[in-house]
């Protein structure tokens, strides 16, 4: 959707046009559901976040000022809704503050199996995809949210920062740590195929 399309839709939304509300849902429900499912890890909570996102967006549409695109704004509402729910479930682990930066033990690579040489059918098998999803689920939520928006949903660094109300440097730092942790997990997982296991 271009900026002009966005502006036209915003004008209709702010005028209370119900077909515009439906269009906003139709255009964005899939991506918001994907984000919610990956953040929450289960379909029931994902659906709650999806509904809450659009209900909140409709209430706040009059205050929308086009400082970001509509889709980034929705990502922001959905991320906040998901984080609020996760915080209720895991109050100790979920904080919107900067994660405590730990050094060597947290980010230094320890697994040096080169899985790049494995056949594509091993890398892309369903079991590998499940392992990839599990690894994301196990990321601390502060890293998970950045990784999902940036590397899975394909937002730019700036859009991710905007959606999560973070600085650019915080996004880069969290993305780096998330990617390093996932690399470590995938290396450990795929190492079994390089150490004699058969497909």
Partner 1 sequence: MTSEPAADNHATHDCRRYIDNLSDYADGTLDDDLCRELETHMEHCENCRVVVNTFTKTVTLYHQLPAPEIPNTVRERLYKVLDLREFRPEDDE
Chain contacts with partner 1 (rule: CB under 8 A): 18-19, 21-23, 25-26, 29-30, 33-34, 37-38, 43, 47, 50-51, 54-55, 58, 104, 107-117, 123-124, 128-129, 132-133, 147, 151-152, 154, 172, 175-176, 179-180, 182-183, 186-187, 191, 194-195
From residue 93, how far is each of 48, 87, 166, 171 by CA, in Å?
A: 21, 8, 18, 19
Asked if 93 contacts 140 with a C-beta cutoff of 8 angstroms, the reply is yes
**Closest among 137, 135, 161, 160 to 149, alpha carbons compared:** 160
Write down the least CB distance from residue 21 to partner 1, Å.
6
Write down the least CB distance from residue 63 to partner 1, Å.
19
Tokens of 192: 């079994």
Closer Cβ to partner 1, 10 or 171, answer by number: 171
From residue 83, how far is each of 51, 90, 146, 191, 197 by CA, in Å?
A: 15, 10, 12, 33, 39
Closer Cβ to partner 1, 89 or 133, answer by number: 133
Write down the least CB distance from residue 115 to partner 1, Å.
6
How many other C-beta atoms can be found within 10 angstroms of the C-beta atom of residue 154?
Answer: 10
Closer Cβ to partner 1, 87 or 111, answer by number: 111
Write down the least CB distance from residue 30 to partner 1, Å.
5
């Amino acid at each position: 959707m271009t900026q002009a399309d966005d502006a036209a839709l915003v004008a209709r939304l702010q005028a209370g046009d119900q077909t515009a509300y439906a269009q906003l849902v139709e255009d964005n429900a899939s991506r918001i559901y994907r984000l919610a499912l990956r953040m929450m890890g289960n379909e029931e909570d994902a659906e709650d976040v999806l509904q809450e996102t659009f209900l909140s967006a409709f209430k706040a549409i009059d205050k929308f000022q086009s400082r970001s695109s509509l889709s980034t704004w929705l990502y922001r509402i959905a991320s906040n809704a998901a984080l609020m729910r996760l915080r209720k479930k895991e109050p100790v682990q979920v904080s919107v503050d900067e994660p405590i930066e730990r050094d060597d033990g947290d980010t230094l690579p320890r697994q040096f199996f080169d899985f790049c040489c494995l056949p594509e059918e091993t890398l892309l098998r369903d079991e590998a995809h499940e392992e990839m999803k599990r690894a994301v689920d196990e990321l601390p939520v502060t890293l998970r949210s950045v990784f999902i928006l940036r590397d899975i949903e394909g937002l730019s660094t700036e859009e991710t920062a905007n959606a999560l109300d973070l600085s650019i440097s915080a996004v880069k730092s969290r993305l780096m740590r998330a990617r390093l942790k996932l690399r470590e997990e995938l290396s450990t997982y795929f190492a079994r195929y390089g150490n004699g296991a058969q497909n």
